[in-house]
Amino acid sequence: MKIKEIIVVEGRDDTTAIKRAIDADTIETNGSAISQEVIEKIRLAQEKRGVIIFTDPDFPGEKIRKTIENKVPGCKHAFLKKQDAKPSSGKGIGVEYASPEAIRQALRDAHTMETEIVELITQEDLLTAGLIGGIRAKGRRERLGELLKIGYTNGKQLHKRLMMFQIKKEEFAAALTKVLQEEHNA
């Protein structure tokens, strides 16, 4: 599988994992303090071929993702489930630990953030659905993020990400129904 877009990753080990999974070019940020030179490379890549931001599912990875999106809008975003990004030793988290199939799936499911954002799902909807506050909210958000392919978020980030990716009410409702059914059957 060869993809046209250039994949932005955090480091050399991520590039190695990507190349094991797919024929692709990468740009490495080398951490969360992204230099202006790297931003310019990403900007050029976005103009010429398109970019997929594929960072670790942790706080530094989200910081890198937000920095790039703010400086180079219109990039696609790929997300790994946290469990797919953990090593067998259990220590750490990152793209470099993901299986080739998990990487390919995340890239297939990549989203583009919308520039004109419309609130399709409200904070009230999230509260009513039990996704904000309450003892089961975190688990529900985690599973919902997997089903909608938008990654894990806290309560505040969930609303923003649903808007950024313009998740439709029907998609949200179907995923939420599945989350609640799985919870009930557990």
Q: For residue 113, is pLDDT > 70?
A: no
pLDDT digits (tens, 9 = 90+) for 129-185: 999 988 999 999 999 999 998 888 888 889 988 988 889 999 999 999 999 999 989
Spatial distance between the Cα atoms of 164 and 181, rounded to a whole number of angstroms = 26
Q: Helix, strand or coil for residue 11?
A: coil
Residues 6+ apart with CB under 8 A from 37: none
Q: What are phi and psi of 9, to 5 degrees?
A: -125, 175
Query: pTM for this one?
Result: 0.70
- pLDDT of res. 164: 80
